[in-house]
Amino acid sequence: MAQLSDVRIIRRDRRDRLGEGPLWHAADGALYWVDILDRRLNRLALADDSVDDWELPEMTGWVVARRDAPGFLAGAESGVKALTLEPFAIEPFADLPDHPPGNRMNDAKADARGRVWAGTMPITADRPTGAFYRVDTDGAVSVADRPYTIANGPAISPDGRWLFHTDTRRRETYRFRLHEDGTLDDKRLWLRFEEAWGTPDGMTFDAEGGLWIAHWGGSRVSRFDPDARIERDIRLPASQITSMAFAGERLDRMFVTSAGDGVDEPHGGALFEVDPGVQGVEPHKFGKE
């Protein structure tokens, strides 16, 4: 188990109200992540630890790099957007079917075939009006599963056979079989968080098949083995831990996001770096090959 002395706090002039969605972008040598509540996109350049940020027009839960166009897809309150930084521009990309007023997008991942899997939730986080969507490379969007109160995490196993998704409010993580055509079936409850752990938030796989899950209210990230047993804990000096991503040339550095909203903590909302002791997997991009 890592101790607090093993944790590096990234120096910057602000904290995130709700940091989320960390994404390693190898071409830029940078980690991107969002502050959902303060409507910002952040970027950490690993070469010199410099941090830049951009103001966003809506609460945005995630960005995913594109392989068929410059920039990113972004998950906003009103739907999926196309986002570029140089020049900075945001354009509509796709609407979400059955997306009620008062909902927003929350977390997403791309799979090996260039599709994006993204969840939604009510802004108030108090009713099951959210859903889990698939965004195809042609821009078509369909509902893959519902309902969710706080849709979170999606993570895809390194072999591409399994997709994991969470409803944070229920403290439950589900496993689906992911088929090549993008259909899901065989949904099963894979893990239910114990109350003492907090609740499950963002997730990612490492190259060895371990599933890392952030503990909202639990001050740590944990690595789970294929049988859903905790194999490793890394403790952090903030309670509301939201997500993590592997980064760096060797994908052996882990960055962890957190939230400062609603807590009085010196490091709530900080971005942390920890040593995971294992390598990660290069994140997939959206779009046709």
Catalytic residue positions? 201
d(CA 74, CA 62): 6
CB 215 within 8 A of CB 200: yes
What is the Cβ-side half-sphere exposure of residue 208, based on CA atoms within 13 angstroms?
Answer: 11
